[in-house]
Structure 1
Amino acid sequence: MRTPYQRPVTSRCYVTAFRKHCDAFAEIIDDEVEQTLKNLNIHQFLMFPAFQQCIPLLFEILKFWSPADEGFIVLGHVLKFTTDEVSLLTGLPNRGIDIKWRIDPLNGPLSTEIKNEMSILDRLTDNATKIKTFIMFLLSNLFFPLNSHKTPRRLTTVANNLSEFSSINWASSLRNFMVGEFNTIFEKFQQQRPLGYINGFFPLLLVSFHSYWFF
């Protein structure tokens, strides 16, 4: 009897679902909303490639992680995972301040609720609501998806303040959050514990590794 396949690690970051909602969103926005997203340096995420989840590949990549080097050791070479690389791969500027959202209570709306809010937007929805909802969708479903589906209240306040959103170094914030997740997985490897969920924008890691192998 064949043993059922069990995922060694799991993530709630589904880029295909994210892209589906972005395609629908792109059909209902006007030039004003589009320009605002460009000014915020997030317009490119409307076209982010719809990568399929590839858990076996993610699992193999995570085995190479070295917390001491903050990079992946492959064939004796350290492949650094830096803020500059995150900036290059995402189009997010590497400037501003890091956001400390993990210390806040997880009492914001669920990522599933925000996804539902995205699905009911239409051409008659006011532009401010469209922009705020998209930012919340980006933060909760792509940048920082959590296994609990919960969204920290801090991210909600940022979505309501475009000036503050622009002041944050999202490339650095993404990188630091992912490094923390890689370190957690490494510790579980060492202790031979079940890996469970990995939070965050993990498809970015797959894009990064494809770039490494290309070069």
Structure 2
Amino acid sequence: MANTYLNTRCIISTFNKYAEPLLQVLSEHSLDLLRKVDLLQLFSMPDVPQNIPILYRLLRLYRPDKAAFILGQYYIKFTINEVALILGLPNRGDDFHFHRTPFSGMKQSDIVAELNQLANEADSEEVEERRVDALIKYVVAKFFFPLKSLRIPECLQQIGGLEDFRRYNWAKAIHGFLNAQLIPLHKLSCKREEPLSLGYLEGCSITLVVSNFFFNFMFIFK
């Protein structure tokens, strides 16, 4: 199955590569703070390949009326708890209301450029605070809610530091955004038997790829 049928911006290797220079210069105090808000582990996730055939297969197996994937005679739910488990995020906190528009005027490349600039600035308390804030914005825009346009909605730019990050239930927000993506793409994938170009699956699609292995493991040992 050629990779042209479906695309996703969520790639762990790229995500880690752009963040590494800044992580290298963060103080131990800042790293500890990031660890306490359940953010630092995202940068040590194993490099799960961007498996387009698996994503396409999952879209074909999805049943919107059941909000589940069908494997044989079993309906397997894709839940918030699975997202939380895969990403190491807590399933608690305030709801985060993602709005695609208005856009902030920034793109993901702008945030990457900011990470590089801050990694090369002289250490100071003010620079350290800006480094942490930039890293948080990078996580939510590049990994939690990557869009096909690579543009960054204003709602993501408004996340203000560690306390703001800690406040929200990111596992629930990621799960909700992916579920909203699955319904229209499932309909497109079932229009005909041969693979059909679907465009982009936005959001943290890596959670679906990892969940697929969980689903198959459960199915084999039922």
TM-score by length of 1: 0.90
Contact 1:71 1:78 in 2 (8 A): yes
Structure 1 distance, partners of 2:4, 2:81, is 31
Matched residue of 2:199: which SS?
coil
Shift of 1:116: 2.1
Which letter maps to 1:205?
L
Q: Shift in Å at residue 103 of structure 1?
A: 5.5
Residue among 2, 14, 18 paired with 1:17:
14
1:140 to 2:141 alignment: yes
1:12 Cα deviation after fit: 1.6
The unaligned stretches of length 5 or more in structure 2 are none
Distance 1:156 1:47 in 2: 24
1:82 corresponding residue in structure 2: 79
Cα contact 1:53–1:203 (8 A) shared by 2: yes
Number of residue pairs matched? 211
Change (3 A) 1:175 1:75: same
8 Å CA contact 2:34–2:162 kept in 1: the answer is: no
Distance apart, 1:19 and its partner CA: 1.5
Asked if the contact 2:104–2:157 (Cα under 8 Å) also holds between the matched residues in 1, the reply is: no
Q: Which moved more, 1:91-100 or 1:184-193?
A: 184-193
Per-residue deviation, residues 2-60 of structure 1 (Å, max 9, x unmatched): xx946111112222111112333332111111112112211101202222222122111
Aligned to 2:106: 109
How far 1:191 moved relative to its partner?
A: 4.8
Does the residue aligned with 1:73 lie in a helix, a strand or coil? strand
Q: Deviations over 1:65-116 (max 9, x none)?
A: 1111111111121111111111111111111122112154122411121122
Q: Which amino acid aligns with 1:149?
A: L
Number of the residue aligned with 1:94: 91
Amino acid at match of 2:23: A
After TM superposition, the structure 1 = structure 2 runs for residues 122-133 of structure 1, keeping only pairs within 5 Å, are 122=119, 124-125=122-123, 126-133=127-134
Which residue type is aligned with residue 43 of structure 1?
L
Tell me which residue corresponds to 1:204.
Answer: 207
> Partners of 2:83 and 2:2 in 1: how far apart?
32
Q: Note if 1:156 corresponds to 2:153.
A: no
Deviates more, 1:161-170 or 1:90-99: 161-170
1:128, CA displacement in angstroms?
Answer: 0.8
Q: Distance in 1 between matches of 2:3 and 2:42?
A: 31
Q: CA deviation at 1:129?
A: 1.0
2: distance between equivalents of 1:52 and 1:6?
Answer: 13
Structure 1 residue identity aligned to 2:52: I
Contact 1:11–1:198 (8 Å) recurs in 2? yes
CA distance in 1, matches of 2:100, 2:2: 36
Instruction: Give me the CA root mean square deviation.
Output: 2.0
Q: Counterparts of 1:113 and 1:213 in 2: how far apart (Å)? A: 39
Q: 12, 22, 27: which is aligned to 2:24?
A: 27
Decide which structure has greater helix share.
2
CA contact (8 A) 1:12 1:199 kept: yes
C-alpha change, 1:127 and 1:51, in structure 2 (3 Å) is: same
Match of 1:99, SS state, is coil
Measure the CA separation in 2 of the matches of 1:122 and 1:103. Answer: 29
Cα distance in 2 for residues equivalent to 1:204 and 1:91? 11
After superposing the two structures, state which structure 1 stretch, 80-89 or 16-25, moved more.
Answer: 16-25
